[in-house]
Amino acid sequence: MTGHAQQTPAQIRASLGHPVIDGDGHWVEYDPVFAEQMRKVGGDLAADGFLAAMNATKTALDMPVAERQRRRVAMPGFWTRQTGNTLDRATAMMPRLFYDRMDEFGTDFAVIYPTAGLRLPRIKDDATRRAVIHAYNVVSADYFAKLSDRMTPAAIIPMHHPEEAIAELEFATSQLGTKAAMFGSAFPRQVDSVKQDPEADRFAVWYEVFGIDSPYDYDPVWATCRKLKIAPTFHSTGSNQALRNSPTNFVYNHIGHFADAGHAACKGVFLGGITRRFPELRWAFLEGGVGWASQLFGDLIEHWERRNIRALENMKPDKLDRAKLMGLVEKYGYEDMLSALKTRGGTPDPEVHGTGGLDDLDDFSRCKFTRKEDWVDLFSTPFYFGCEADDRMNAIAFGKTNPFGAKLNAIYSSDVGHFDVIDMRDPLPEAYELVEDGFITNDNFRDFVFGNSVRLWGTQNPNFFDGTHVAKEARALLGQTPVRQAAE
């Protein structure tokens, strides 16, 4: 932002009447050691599959520019780990050091997402993917086992097939005590009509968004989330594909890619009617900010106004008064146009009168709209959006420009551990600048760094914050009294 922050994170935290929850911190797994620990619990398939996935960046960096251009391989990030700030590099590697520094960051509790694990849900081979993610979750849980009062790791949930997602969800929650989960999304699936070779196959893909056009029914996965009290959160990449595939410019590929992946998943979940069928679930789309969500909210409503089933009635081809159209064309002297219309029976575009073989012409039919408040119930209430601290667009979540004046659920997501956080002490002061500059109120800030995270995970699982530094405040916000965890 403006960089004028004068207070330290500890000073800001001391001035607040509420805790600070980091909804998306990161640690950086040390691959050589992590892989060997995976080998102990998951065997060679897990460890070697993990290392192969991690080697993709090196493979791309080792290519000459001309070869990346020839093969259309995206320029990956280089020099993406802190070196000038050795303490932060060490902090990202070691959860216990991270834990010891949390007061320095002004953070009371953090949900910690993977770094290496962000690419694991895209492993193509089914057996390898399942083995790698299963072993990853076991090892990751062990790293954080004694730190649960202040941090909890998000387990990875693979989503290529519903049964693998359900199996990992049940294992992670029952055996590892998982409370937060990162679901794979926007991963490539092969286009059935194209069978070429491995080099060409990576371009002949479409991307899974679950709610629409999936080859599988994922409702059993969402039902399992409801049963296990897990809020589906997505932290998926949109880089190295489509319009983010420059062989020479990492920044071009990187900007907006998390937002792009979140936008696709959010749209699919909404238009697929999943928030209608599972109103109890809360969903999060991380690290892309909230600006795209505000625009999507408006775009969906505007499209509904023009494309809902009643609005389409006015667009039916047989509504056209052909005689009137030809009369107007003749009146204004467009003889060539009139001649063409006559050969078409007075219809200007009969070639586009088809409906693509659809039985249901209403793109919003799964949402089952009956009143305008449905938009709040189905979009602005269940969806949460992870926002980095220095993003000025965060203020949009709390402004009056959103449809129906709705506030969007922005959650403070420090992204510590990654290259874009130069100093781990920066995020909280950067976030607080929105208050200092008058763009949001103190109440908005409370929702941003505390309330919305509590509602995301605590609404889904009333016991999520039990035993943590923020348990008392979380219970108070949710209007709950302490209860014992019920056995499923």
Rounded Cα distance between 1 and 33, Å, is: 37
Average confidence score pLDDT of the chain: 93
Statement: residue 296 has pLDDT above 80: yes
Do 249 and 342 share a domain, yes or no? no
Do 161 and 229 share a domain, yes or no? yes
Quick one: pLDDT band at residue 437, thresholds 50, 70, 90?
A: very high
Do 129 and 190 share a domain, yes or no? yes
**pLDDT, tens digit, 9 for 90 and up, residues 47-86:** 999 999 999 889 999 999 999 999 999 999 999 988 899 9
The answer to whether residue 484 is domain-embedded is no
Do 125 and 150 share a domain, yes or no? yes
How many angstroms from the chain centroid is the CA of residue 289? 10
pLDDT value for 241: 85
Rounded Cα distance between 412 and 289, Å, is: 10
Amino acid at 366: R
The answer to whether residue 485 is domain-embedded is no
For the full predicted model, state whether its pTM sits above 0.85. yes
The answer to whether residue 289 is domain-embedded is yes
Give the CATH number of the domain where residue 230 resides: 3.20.20.140
Tally the residues of the chain. 488
**Range of 329's domain?**
309-352
The answer to whether residue 483 is domain-embedded is no
Do 274 and 288 share a domain, yes or no? yes
Statement: residue 201 has pLDDT above 80: no
The answer to whether residue 361 is domain-embedded is no
Do 139 and 276 share a domain, yes or no? yes
pLDDT value for 485: 36
Do 259 and 347 share a domain, yes or no? no
Q: Which residue has the higher pLDDT, 373 or 103?
A: 103
Quick one: pLDDT band at residue 488, thresholds 50, 70, 90?
A: very low
The answer to whether residue 3 is domain-embedded is no
Do 324 and 413 share a domain, yes or no? no
The domain tally of the chain equals 2
**pLDDT, tens digit, 9 for 90 and up, residues 117-164:** 889 999 999 999 999 999 999 999 999 999 999 999 999 999 999 999
Cβ-Cβ contacts under 8 Å for 138 (sequence gap 6 or more): 38, 41, 42, 176
Statement: residue 255 has pLDDT above 80: yes
For residue 262, which phi and psi values (nearest 5 degrees)? -65, -40
**pLDDT, tens digit, 9 for 90 and up, residues 95-116:** 999 999 999 999 999 999 999 9
The answer to whether residue 16 is domain-embedded is yes
Do 152 and 282 share a domain, yes or no? yes
Do 274 and 313 share a domain, yes or no? no
Do 231 and 321 share a domain, yes or no? no
Q: Find the helix packing angle between 471-478 and 452-460, rounded to 10°.
A: 80
pLDDT value for 186: 79
Sign of CA dihedral 384, 386, 390, 393: negative
The answer to whether residue 370 is domain-embedded is no
Do 202 and 250 share a domain, yes or no? yes
pLDDT value for 481: 55
